[in-house]
């Protein structure tokens, strides 16, 4: 018997191969949890939810994917084989070449070559003996194609025991860099704030430090008043103009001051909105209690004292059309809507809601248009909601804007397949509503109309819905340099919500799949881009690491800088991206990102567990910064010294070194 075992070992076979094996169809797994792409991943159908067909042949088993697709599996040596038939779905895009890869522990086990619509499916059968980590990859050129459907048909694992394929481990240390705030007061709210004449004004002085704390303001414009205990400034200013006030916060340990420039004019959202959105926390299960709990948690966790302001309800709050304005009314999950808004405002926070110019929203609720003059939703629409995702004959923007203003809404997320006429109508309606409502248009704004989005909206989505993966983060944020010139005061680039904490992106509530290093990169780049910062997880569930990520005032200050210029990508060489953002005081925010040539090889799409950091020398001349600079690490809130010409550092895999560089006189 021992001789047989030795003989099998020499042949590279495992003695337990005689044990009974087990097949697992890919579509029997919770496949969405394995997907790191942005579009839908569906089991037993194509990515559009239709029958899975390749070159006319129907498949009952398999996984349908779209666009560039990354499926990651942790097998830990328990699988023996993977097999499938791969090809472009019959409802895919003509003449669009795709490539399929199977990669095990950094080795390409299968490569399809280019495949197009109409090509015969190709068989995959690879040994997985000893493979710990497996990646299934489909690549295309990312040019915004819809219906770029491809299929892993009849895909299955052969397992040698009862082990079930797992998602990739994400157990790296959640290291905390930011020191805790001092007991002395520090004012963290924006230095710049805009409002329209005679509209309700609400600005809260956010300040860290030991409580109790008292607030004061010098040179407050006529029509505004301050609550000295809460720091809430409210009222109305009639006269257009620029007003410079001095904010003051005082406690038993000291006093802090900060200059605030108030501009009463035509432009609001002079700094990017910063707050919370409920979709990636609760999706369709949002209700009044969860919104109130989020506002309470914003205060209890102290996020409000770092400038976090908005509590935004996403899709699924809408009921029927009615009321004094014949506007969208809340459904049964949101009783006493005005009372809820008042409660949020009384805490110094602001309220946001969701709508769409389509007849029905993406979650199937009533929208801002109708094919009927009264705007009502009929039973036929309710029973076939997906068929009514288009803009109807009759429009109700003015009705809905007036109702939002009456409730005290401060933010509108407007979500549809964006086109200019609908964007214009709601933009005008909000401006005429009598209230300053930040206008955020959502769902892949076409770049060809970038000037229109900057003119019409306060924030505009630059891509599709984000997912909690490095691939999604990379496509959503690291590719935005071409958009940067269109971002600025009152019109900010929006890469979507933040993917930190516990999120529901694409599947049930789960911890973000970003590594700690990737989370630092995520927050850093969003702040460098002057993007809206909208927390996408349940606030009350924040752990110490995530809370620390969200409460670094020096990082947030870069996002809220009054100059309002998004960072530009100034270098992308040897796996390191360098983004530079000029700041109002003449300093520069610089992000050094170790992207490790992501996307340039099939293997680079996956996390293999042996990732390494990179040594890097920042050459100041190469990024057009000349001379002597005081360099500060903003995550550690620590000066690193004065440097002439260059600066050396070590950057973790998919991590960041975020600097603030202050020019020094020679």
* CB-based contacts of 318-323 (< 8 A; 24+ apart in sequence): 318/354, 318/355, 318/361, 318/365, 318/366, 318/367, 319/365, 319/366, 320/366, 320/376, 320/377, 321/366, 321/370, 321/374, 321/375, 321/376, 321/377, 321/396, 321/399, 323/403
Residue 642: phi and psi, rounded to 5, are -95, 135
Instruction: Give me the residue label for tokens 């969003």.
Output: 526
- How many residues are given for the chain? 666
Instruction: Give me the residue label for tokens 């002057």.
Output: 530
Q: Is 109 helix (H, G, I), strand (E, B) or coil?
A: strand
Tokens standing for residue 664: 């020094």
Determine contact, residues 528/568, Cβ cutoff 8 Å: no
- Alpha-carbon span 257 to 280, nearest angstrom: 37
Q: What is the dihedral of CA 355, 357, 358, 360, to 10 degrees?
A: 30
- Alpha-carbon span 318 to 417, nearest angstrom: 19
Strands 241-251 and 214-218, by their bridges, are antiparallel
- Across the beta sheet with 568-573, the strand order is 568-573, 576-582, 588-594, 656-664, 628-633, 638-644
Does 436 participate in catalysis according to the annotation?
A: no
Q: Is 330 helix (H, G, I), strand (E, B) or coil?
A: strand
- Alpha-carbon span 500 to 473, nearest angstrom: 11
Spatial CA neighbour of 365 closest among 348, 377, 349, 350:
377
Q: Of the listed 105, 154, 287, 415, which one is catalytic?
A: 415
Report the largest interatomic distance among the alpha carbons of the chain, rounded to a whole angstrom: 96
- Alpha-carbon span 99 to 115, nearest angstrom: 6
Does 465 participate in catalysis according to the annotation?
A: yes
Instruction: Give me the residue label for tokens 């819905």.
Output: 465
**Which residues lie across from 572 on neighbouring strands?**
577
Side-chain-side CA neighbours of residue 519 (13 Å): 24
Q: Rounded to whole angstroms, what are the CA distances from 634 to 42, 529, 561, 593, 619?
A: 42, 16, 14, 14, 19
Q: Of the listed 89, 452, 465, 517, which one is catalytic?
A: 465
Determine contact, residues 485/444, Cβ cutoff 8 Å: no
Cα 86 to chain centroid distance, Å, stands at 31
Tokens standing for residue 238: 């009639």
Determine contact, residues 554/637, Cβ cutoff 8 Å: yes
Instruction: Give me the residue label for tokens 């050129």.
Output: 141
Q: Which residues are catalytic?
A: 415, 465
């Amino acid at each position: 018997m021992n001789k047989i075992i030795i003989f099998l070992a020499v042949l590279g076979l495992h003695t337990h191969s005689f044990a009974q094996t087990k097949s697992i169809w890919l579509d029997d797994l919770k496949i969405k949890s394995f997907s790191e792409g942005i579009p839908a991943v569906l089991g037993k159908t194509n990515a559009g939810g239709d029958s899975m067909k390749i070159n006319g042949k129907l498949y009952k088993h398999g996984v349908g994917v779209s666009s560039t697709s990354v499926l990651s599996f942790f097998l830990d040596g328990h699988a023996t084989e993977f097999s499938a038939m791969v090809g472009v779905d019959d409802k895919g895009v003509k003449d669009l070449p795709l490539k399929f890869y199977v990669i095990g522990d950094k080795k390409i086990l299968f490569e399809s070559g280019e495949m197009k619509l109409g090509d015969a499916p190709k068989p995959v059968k690879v040994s997985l003996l000893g493979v710990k980590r497996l990646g299934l990859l489909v690549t295309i050129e990312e040019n915004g194609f819809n219906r770029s459907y491809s299929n892993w048909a009849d895909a299955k694992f052969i397992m040698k025991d009862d082990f079930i394929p797992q998602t990739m481990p994400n157990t790296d240390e959640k290291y905390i860099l930011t020191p805790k705030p001092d007991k002395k007061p520090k004012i963290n709210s924006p230095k710049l704030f805009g409002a329209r004449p005679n509209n309700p004004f609400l600005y809260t002085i956010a300040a860290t430090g030991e409580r109790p704390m008292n607030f004061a303001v010098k040179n407050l414009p006529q029509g505004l008043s301050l609550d000295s205990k809460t720091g809430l400034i409210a009222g109305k200013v009639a006269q257009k103009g620029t007003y410079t006030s001095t904010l003051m916060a005082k406690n038993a340990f000291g006093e802090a001051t900060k200059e605030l420039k108030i501009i009463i004019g035509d432009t609001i959202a002079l700094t990017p909105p910063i707050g919370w959105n409920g979709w990636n926390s609760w999706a369709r299960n949002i209700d009044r209690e969860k919104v109130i709990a989020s506002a309470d948690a914003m205060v209890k966790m102290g996020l409000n004292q770092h400038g976090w302001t908005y509590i935004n309800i996403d899709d699924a709050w809408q009921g029927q059309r009615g009321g004094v304005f014949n506007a969208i009314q809340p459904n049964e999950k949101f009783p006493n809507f005005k009372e809820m808004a008042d409660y949020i405002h009384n805490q110094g926070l602001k309220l946001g809601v969701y709508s769409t110019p389509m007849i029905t929203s993406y979650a199937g609720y009533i929208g801002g248009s109708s094919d009927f003059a009264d705007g009502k939703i009929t039973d036929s629409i309710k029973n076939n909601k997906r068929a009514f995702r288009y803009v109807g004959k009759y429009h109700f923007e003015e009705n809905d804007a007036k109702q939002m203003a009456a409730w005290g809404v401060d933010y509108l997320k407007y979500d549809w397949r964006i086109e200019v006429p609908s964007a214009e109508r709601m933009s005008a309606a909000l401006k005429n509503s009598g209230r300053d409502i930040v206008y955020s248009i959502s769902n892949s704004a076409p770049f060809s109309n970038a000037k229109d989005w900057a003119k019409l909206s306060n924030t505009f989505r630059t891509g599709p819905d984000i997912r909690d993966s490095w691939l999604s983060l990379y496509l959503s944020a690291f590719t935005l340099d071409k958009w940067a010139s269109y971002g600025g005061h009152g019109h900010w680039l929006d890469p979507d919500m933040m993917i930190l904490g516990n999120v529901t992106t694409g599947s049930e509530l789960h911890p973000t799949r970003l590594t700690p290093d990737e989370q630092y990169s995520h927050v850093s780049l969003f702040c460098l881009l002057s993007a809206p910062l909208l927390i996408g997880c349940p606030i009350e569930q924040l752990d110490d690491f995530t809370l620390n990520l969200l409460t670094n005032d020096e990082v947030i200050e870069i996002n809220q800088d009054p100059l309002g210029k998004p960072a530009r990508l100034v270098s992308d060489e040897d796996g390191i991206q360098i983004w530079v953002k000029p700041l109002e005081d003449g300093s520069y925010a610089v992000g050094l990102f170790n992207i490790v040539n992501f996307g340039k090889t099939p293997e680079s799409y996956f996390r293999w567990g042996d990732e390494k950091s990179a040594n890097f020398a920042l050459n100041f001349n190469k990024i057009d910064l000349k001379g002597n600079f005081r360099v500060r690490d903003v995550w550690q809130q620590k000066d690193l010294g004065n440097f002439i010409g260059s600066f050396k550092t070590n950057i973790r895999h998919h991590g960041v070194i975020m600097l603030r560089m202050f020019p020094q006189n020679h």
